[in-house]
Amino acid sequence: MNITVTINGEEHSHDVEPRISLAQYLRETLDLTGTHIGCDTSGCGACTVTVDGAAAKACTLLAVQVDGCEVTTIEGMAQNGQMHPIQEAFKENHGLQCGFCTPGMVMTAVDILKNNPNPSEEEIRHGLEGNFCRCTGYHNIVKSIQHAAEKING
């Protein structure tokens, strides 16, 4: 099946198997390996991307479902060699350890801050419920998102 999708601002057209997931398409066809596959059931959040501006789990979306959509992956967050404020905040606040969950956490943070520019700690923790981190205990992830909100809001 032919699809055309804009990924990180660049249009891509491919003939794909109807059963290939968006995560597989990103990783295997486009070599965008920042979208991690951790569970294949949307439970861990490592595969989170944005589709038309909303967070989505790429492991349970089919590539054909994003035909005509705009997708942003972790690779599309930095602009002109400069990290996005959320990425900077994760770096500055040690919001990662092994890094496996980090792309999904960053993409979820984008969605959290889009919907609530100044979230409380409780609202951030609630927004992260679909993302699992086995290393950090979440404290610095929450701190990173709070810091990013401050940076973005001036």
Domain that holds residue 69: 2-76
Condensed to tens digits (0 to 9), the pLDDT of residues 91-140 reads: 999 999 999 999 999 999 999 999 999 999 999 999 999 999 988 889 99
Reading the block at residue 18, the tokens are 């109807």
Condensed to tens digits (0 to 9), the pLDDT of residues 41-93 reads: 888 999 999 999 999 999 999 999 999 999 999 999 999 999 999 999 999 99
Q: Is 62 in the same domain as 89?
A: no
Q: In what order do the strands lie in the sheet with 2-7?
A: 10-15, 2-7, 70-72, 48-51, 54-57
Q: How many whole angstroms separate alpha carbon 61 and alpha carbon 51?
A: 10
Q: Is 27 in the same domain as 70?
A: yes
* Cβ atoms of residues 108 and 45 within 8 Å: yes
Last residue of a domain, one of 51, 76, 101: 76
Q: How many whole angstroms separate alpha carbon 59 and alpha carbon 3?
A: 17
Identify the pLDDT of residue 136: 82
Reading the block at residue 36, the tokens are 């991690």
Q: Is 64 in the same domain as 118?
A: no
**Unique residue bearing structure tokens 């350890």:** 97
Q: What are φ and ψ of residue 72, in 5° steps?
A: -120, 130
Q: Is 94 in the same domain as 141?
A: yes
Burial-class residue 128 by CB neighbours within 10 Å (0-12, 13-18, 19+): buried
Q: Is 90 in the same domain as 46?
A: no
